[in-house]
C-alpha cells in the first residue's frame, strides 16, 4: 500500500520517548522528515542515541508542549529547517495520579497546561503553518477517556476533553483540507506505564485485554502512520482505540486460563 509519506514533514510533540519516539522512527522509515520536541536535554540526547541505533536522523529540539511560546518557537524552527509542516502529532502528555481530595490547584493547572492547552494551541500553530494546502493533525487521548481510574480524575478529564475537541477541530479545519483525529492507546509498554506494568503481579492488567498482552510503542506507531497517510484520506473527526480489545468483554481472561 502506498502511504504517500515520502517528503512529508512530520512534527511530534513529546516525541523523545515511548509512542512518540516509535512514531518518529517509523515515519522516517516511510521517507518523511521528522521533527520532535522534548522537555529536557537529557531526553533529547537519549532519543538521539536511539535514532542513531535505528539508522535514522530526526530534528530534535527542547520545548515544553504546554508552553505556547516554546511550542511556537519550535514550530518556527521546523519551518526554518524544512519550509513546511504536513503532519502534526500532539503526543505530549503528563499524568499526576492523585485521589480527588488530594488534588491541588497547581496539580490541575499543570495537567491542563500540557494535556489540553498544549493540544489546543498546538493545533492552532499547526493549522496556521499548514495553511490551505492541508495536512493531518493527530491528538493523544487515552483509554482513561473511556474508563477512568481511581486516582485519575484529572487525567481522565483532560483526555476526554481531547477526544471532544478533536471532533470540533476536524469540522472547523476541514475547509483547509486538514484532517484531525485522536488516538486512544490501551496499556502500552512505555516509560509512563513502566511502573504500572511492573506492579501488576496479579495479572489484572493483562486479564482485561482480549489479546492478553500489553502493546508496544511500535504497534501504536503503525496506526498513527496509517492515520497520517493518504490511505486514511476519508477519516477525520474520530477517535481510534488501540487497546488489544481491553474490556471488549467483561471476562476475556477466562479463555486464557
| Active-site residue, selected from the candidate residues 82, 155, 183, 234 | 155
Q: What are phi and psi of 212, to 5 degrees?
A: 60, 40
- Distance (Å, rounded) from C-alpha 158 to C-alpha 152? 10
Q: Is residue 155 among the annotated active site residues?
A: yes
Count other C-beta atoms under 10 Å from residue 241's C-beta: 18
Q: Please identify which residue in the block is written with the cell numbers 468483554.
A: 249
Alpha carbons within 13 A on the beta-carbon side of 210? 9
- Distance (Å, rounded) from C-alpha 241 to C-alpha 252? 17
- Distance (Å, rounded) from C-alpha 127 to C-alpha 177? 10
Q: Please identify which residue in the block is written with the cell numbers 486512544.
A: 184
Contacting residues for 175 by C-beta, under 8 A, at least 6 apart: none
- Distance (Å, rounded) from C-alpha 210 to C-alpha 198? 20
Supply the residues annotated as catalytic. Answer: 155
Amino acid at each position: 500500500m502506498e502511504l504517500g509519506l515520502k517528503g512529508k514533514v512530520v512534527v511530534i510533540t513529546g516525541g523523545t520517548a515511548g509512542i512518540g519516539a516509535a512514531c518518529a522512527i517509523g515515519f522516517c522509515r516511510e521517507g518523511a522528515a521528522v521533527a520532535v520536541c522534548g522537555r529536557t536535554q537529557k531526553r533529547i540526547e537519549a532519543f538521539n542515541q536511539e535514532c542513531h541505533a535505528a539508522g535514522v536522523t530526526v530534528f530534535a529540539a527542547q520545548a515544553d508542549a504546554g508552553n505556547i511560546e516554546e511550542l511556537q518557537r519550535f514550530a518556527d524552527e521546523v519551518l526554518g529547517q524544512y519550509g513546511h509542516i504536513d503532519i502534526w502529532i500532539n503526543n505530549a502528555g503528563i499524568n499526576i495520579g492523585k485521589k480527588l481530595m488530594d488534588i491541588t490547584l497547581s496539580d490541575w493547572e499543570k495537567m491542563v497546561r500540557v494535556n489540553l492547552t498544549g493540544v489546543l494551541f498546538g493545533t492552532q500553530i499547526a493549522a496556521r503553518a499548514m495553511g490551505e494546502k492541508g495536512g493531518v493533525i493527530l491528538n493523544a487521548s487515552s483509554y482513561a477517556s473511556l474508563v477512568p481510574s481511581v486516582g485519575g480524575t484529572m487525567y481522565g478529564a483532560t483526555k476526554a476533553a481531547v477526544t471532544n475537541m478533536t471532533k470540533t477541530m476536524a469540522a472547523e479545519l476541514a475547509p483547509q483540507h486538514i484532517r484531525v483525529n485522536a488516538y486512544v492507546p490501551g496499556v502500552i509498554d512505555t516509560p509512563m506505564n513502566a511502573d504500572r506494568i511492573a506492579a501488576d503481579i496479579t495479572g489484572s492488567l493483562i486479564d482485561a485485554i482480549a489479546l492478553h498482552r500489553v502493546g508496544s510503542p511500535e504497534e501504536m506507531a503503525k496506526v498513527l502512520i496509517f492515520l497520517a497517510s493518504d490511505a486514511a484520506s476519508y477519516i477525520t473527526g474520530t477517535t481510534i482505540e488501540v487497546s488489544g480489545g481491553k474490556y471488549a468483554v467483561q471476562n476475556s481472561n477466562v479463555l486464557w486460563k
